[in-house]
Structure 1
Amino acid sequence: MQDTLQRKFYRKEMEVNALLEITQAVNNNLPEVDLYKIYEFTLRANLQLSKMVLYVKDEHWECKVQFGTKKDFTTIPIDSNCFNLKEIVALKEGDLSISCFNEFDIIIPVTHKEKLLAFVFIKTSEEENGVDTTFIQALSNVILVAIENKRLARKQLEQQSIQHEMELARNVQNYLFPDVLPDTKKLEIKAFYKPCNTVGGDYYDYIPVPNENQFLVCIADVSGKGMPAAILMSNFQAVLRTLSRNAESPEQIIHELNHQTWHNAKGENFITFFLAVYDFDKKNLRYFNCGHNHPVLIAKDKVSVLSEGSTVLGAFDPLPFLDRGEIENIEEFSLFMFTDGLTETFNSEGEEFGQERLEAFLVANKDMELQAMHNALMKELEDFKKEKSFADDLTFLSCKVNNATP
C-alpha cells in the first residue's frame, strides 16, 4: 500500500516537474525545434514512455516527434480515420482500422478551442504502471498551443511586413503620377486610375516642353506587381522625365527607355508603353506604341487607332525595330489612352468589354466634357460587368486639344 502511494507521489512529482519545465521553456520563448526536443525528453525520461509518435497540423499534418517505433513515421501520412476521434481512444490488439499505427495502443487527440492541433500515439506496457494519458494530453496541449501562438505571431509579423512593403510601393507609385493636369480651352487632360490591388502596375504622365511649345503624354503598364514593379516603374519615370528635357528626338527617348528597362529588370519584366508628342506650332502629332493597347484618336469625326511603334520595352536590347506614327495638320482632336484592365473587363458570361465596344462609346460621347465622359465610361463598365470584379488595374487618360487659329 505504502509502495503504491509512493509510486503515485513520485509520478505526480515528475508530472509537475515536467509541466514546470515545459512552461519555463515556453516563457523563455525557445524556438519550436527546442520545444519539441524538451517535449520528447519529458515523455521519454520523466514519464518513461518507450514508444510514441506526435503528428501536428501545420500547413499539412506532419510527424514532429517519434521514438521507439519500428517504422519511420516522418514518411507516413496520418490515417484519415483519426480525424473522427474526439477523445482518448484505446486500440484493441489486432484492430487495423488505423492501419499503419497498429503498433500503438492509445491515441490521444490534442485540441484547443475545438480546433484539432495534434495526435499523440503511445504504446503502454506493464512496466509503465499505467500511463496518465490525461496528463500527456494536457502537457501536449500546453506546448502545442505555445507553438501555434508562435506560428500565428510569425504569420502576423509576415503580414505586417508585407503590408508595410505594399504601403511603401503605393507611396512610390503615387509619386509617379503628375500632381496637376492642364485644364484650359487649348489643352485639357483628365485621368482615371483604379488599382486592382493595393499596388498596381500602371503609370501615366503629362510632361510639358515649354521651350518648343510641345507637350508629351504617355501611358504604361509594367508586368508584375508589388514593390519590384513599383521600383521598376519609378526608375522608368525618372529616366523618361530626364530624357524629355535632354533627348534630341522621341526615338531617342524610346531607345533609351528600352535599354534602361532591360538593364534594370534583367529581362525578367517588361513594360508596354505608349508615348505621344504634340507640337502646337507645327500642328502635328508624333507617337510610338510599344506593345501597348491601341489608343483611340478622334479628329474631324474620323476615328483612328494608333498602332505604329515597336514591341514591349525591356524584352530585347536593342529594339528589333521602331516605327514612328505621325499625323500632320491636326488642330482639334481628342486622344484616349488606356491599359488592358479596361478592355479586358469581363461580364458573368465571360465576354470582355473589348476594343470595339470602347470605340463605339468614345464616338457616341465625343462631345461630352472629359470628366463627365470618364464618369459615364465607369458606369458603362460597372453595368457591363455587374457582380464581377475588375481583374486588373484600370487606368485611362483623355487628352483634348483645340489648336485652331482664332
Structure 2
Amino acid sequence: MDTALNIANRYELKELELNSLLEITQAINENMAEDSLYKIYNFTLRANLKLGKLMLLVQENGLWEQKLSFGTTKNYSADDNSTNHLINKRQILFAADLVDSPFEEFEVAIPVFHKNELLATVFLGGVANAEEKELIENHLNFIQALTNIIMVAIENKKMAREKLEQEVIAKEMEIAKKVQQLLFPKSLPESDHFKIDAHYSPHHTVGGDYYDWISIDENRKIVCIADVSGKGVPAALLMSNFQASLRTLLRKTTDLEEVINDLNHQVFESANGENFITCFIALIDLNEKKLTYVNAGHNPPFLVSSDGIIEKLETGTLVLGALREIPFLEIGSTEISTPQTLLLYTDGLTEAFNEQEEEFGPERVMEILSNYISATPEAIINAILKEIEAFIGKRALSDDITLLACKYHV
C-alpha cells in the first residue's frame, strides 16, 4: 500500500513539474515582459512548494540584485566579501551551510548556471514540517531547471534589447554623420587674393564641429568655425540649424553684431538652453583693408602677419544659446596691411593628450605657425596634422579635430 502511495505521489510530483514547465514555456513563447516572468516564477514555486520564504538574487553587470522575495526579514544585497563568497559557491547549499551567513534564515540556496556562468541564486525557506522539507528536497533539480529556463529567457531578452539599442544608436550615428558631412562646404575656392584649406578628423562618435567659407562678393568673405556641445543626432541637427540660420542672415546683412544676436536667439530657441555652440566668425574685407570678428566662447584663432607676429583673436562674447539674451558683445577688428594667415581650429586640437597625459596645447600650434609664416594653408595644416600624430602616439583622439587656414592679402 505504501509503495503504491509513493508511486502515486511521485507521479503527481512529476505531473506538477511538467505543468509548471509548460506554463513557464508558454509565457516565454508569448514574449511576456521580464516582470511578468518573475511573477509567474514566484507564484509557481510558492503555490506548489508551500514555501514560507523565497528570494531570488540575480547578477546584473557584476552586482547582485534582489529581483523577488517573499517572507524575508530584510532586503538582501551582495556588497560584502562574505556574501559574494557564499553566493559564488557552485553547489546547492543547505541550512548547515547557511549558518552564520547573511542568509541563515533560509534552508536551501540553489545556484543557477548558463554555459558555466552563474546567473542567479534562489533561496528557499520557512517550511513548516519535515514533509514539506522533503517536498522541497525532491524538487531541487526541478527548481534549478525552472530557474535556469526563466533566467536564460530573461538574459536573451536583455541581449535582444541591447542589440536593438545598438542598432538604433548605429543608425543615429549614420544619420548624424551624413548631416555633419552636409554642413561642410563642398569646395573651398581660391583666387588671387585668397587661399584656403581645411581638414576634419572625426572622432569615433559623431561630434558637432562645423566650418564654413562664404563669399559675400569678390573682396568680402566670411569665415566661420563652430563646435556644439553634445554628440550624435541632436548635436548634428542643432549645428545644421545654426548653419542654415547663418547663411540666411548673411544674405541680408554682414553686421556681425546683428548676426551674432540673431544666431544666439536661434540656438537658444532650438536647444531650449540645454545645449550651446562655441563660434568664431570673421568678415575679411579687402576693400576696407580690415578684418572684423566675434569670438563667442570659441578657442581663439591665430592671426599670423608676414612679419611673424601672432595674435590671438579673443574679443567677442559668451557661447551662443546659453542665455536668451547675450549680456555683452564686443566686435574685434584688425587692419590688413601685410599678407596674413588666419588659422581656425576646434578644441580637439589643443586638448589632445599623449600617452604621458600631456596636453597638446595652443603653444605647440603657435610654434608650428612661427616655423611656417610664409607657407601655404595646405602646408600649415599638414604640418599641424603631422605634429599632432607624432604627439599622441598610439593614444586615440578624444574629440574631433577641425582646422581651417586662410591666407589673404590686399
Residue aligning to 1:270: 276
Q: CA deviation at 1:331?
A: 5.3
What is the alpha-carbon distance in structure 2 between the residues aligned to residue 2 and residue 380 of structure 1? 88
| Contact 1:81–1:97 (8 Å) recurs in 2 | no
Q: CA deviation at 1:248?
A: 5.0
| Contact 1:293–1:338 (8 Å) recurs in 2 | yes
Residue aligning to 1:280: 286
Q: CA deviation at 1:22?
A: 1.0
Return the letter of the residue paired with 2:339.
E
Q: CA deviation at 1:227?
A: 2.2
Question: Any idea what SS the aligned residue of 2:96 has?
Answer: coil
Return the letter of the residue paired with 2:179.
V
More displaced 10-residue stretch of structure 1: 365-374 or 238-247: 365-374
Question: Any idea what SS the aligned residue of 2:320 has?
Answer: coil
What is the alpha-carbon distance in structure 1 between the residues aligned to residue 171 and residue 96 of structure 2? 55
TM-score with structure 1 setting the length: 0.91
Residue aligning to 1:321: 328
Residue aligning to 1:10: 12
Cα deviation, 1:332-357, whole Å, max 9, x if unaligned, reads: 22111111111122223333222222
Residue aligning to 2:215: 208
Q: CA deviation at 1:368?
A: 3.0
Residue aligning to 1:231: 237
* Equivalent residue for 1:113, pick from 112, 115, 120: 115
| Contact 2:306–2:373 (8 Å) recurs in 1 | no
Cα deviation, 1:298-350, whole Å, max 9, x if unaligned, reads: 22223222222222222334322222222234352211111111112222333
**Corresponding position: 1:362 with 2:362:** no
Residue aligning to 1:289: 295
What is the alpha-carbon distance in structure 2 between the residues aligned to residue 175 and residue 387 of structure 1? 30
**Corresponding position: 1:244 with 2:250:** yes
Q: CA deviation at 1:50?
A: 4.1
| Contact 1:15–1:47 (8 Å) recurs in 2 | no
What is the alpha-carbon distance in structure 2 between the residues aligned to residue 320 and residue 13 of structure 1? 78
* Equivalent residue for 2:36, pick from 29, 34, 37: 34
**Corresponding position: 1:165 with 2:172:** yes
Residue aligning to 1:20: 22
Residue aligning to 1:305: 312
* Equivalent residue for 1:82, pick from 78, 82, 86: 86
**Corresponding position: 1:134 with 2:138:** no
Q: CA deviation at 1:48?
A: 4.0
Question: Any idea what SS the aligned residue of 1:102 has?
Answer: coil
Question: Any idea what SS the aligned residue of 1:122 has?
Answer: strand
Cα deviation, 1:330-389, whole Å, max 9, x if unaligned, reads: 352211111111112222333322222211101202333332332221121121222333
Residue aligning to 1:183: 190
Residue aligning to 2:352: 345
* Equivalent residue for 2:262, pick from 256, 271, 274: 256
What is the alpha-carbon distance in structure 2 between the residues aligned to residue 177 and residue 271 of structure 1? 16
What is the alpha-carbon distance in structure 2 between the residues aligned to residue 356 and residue 330 of structure 1? 25
Question: Any idea what SS the aligned residue of 2:366 has?
Answer: helix
| Contact 2:292–2:332 (8 Å) recurs in 1 | yes
TM-score with structure 2 setting the length: 0.91
Question: Any idea what SS the aligned residue of 1:376 has?
Answer: helix
| Contact 2:109–2:124 (8 Å) recurs in 1 | yes
Cα distance change, pair 316–12 in 1 and its aligned pair in 2 (3 A):
closer
Cα distance change, pair 7–259 in 1 and its aligned pair in 2 (3 A):
same
| Contact 1:270–1:312 (8 Å) recurs in 2 | yes
- Identity among equivalent positions (%) equals 47
| Contact 2:193–2:408 (8 Å) recurs in 1 | yes
More displaced 10-residue stretch of structure 1: 167-176 or 48-57: 48-57
**Corresponding position: 1:388 with 2:388:** no
Residue aligning to 1:64: 67
Q: CA deviation at 1:217?
A: 0.5
Q: CA deviation at 1:283?
A: 2.8
| Contact 2:249–2:259 (8 Å) recurs in 1 | yes
Q: CA deviation at 1:70?
A: 4.5
Cα deviation, 1:65-120, whole Å, max 9, x if unaligned, reads: 323x2414xx2214223233101122328x52422x21222110001011111111
| Contact 1:15–1:46 (8 Å) recurs in 2 | no
| Contact 2:278–2:297 (8 Å) recurs in 1 | yes
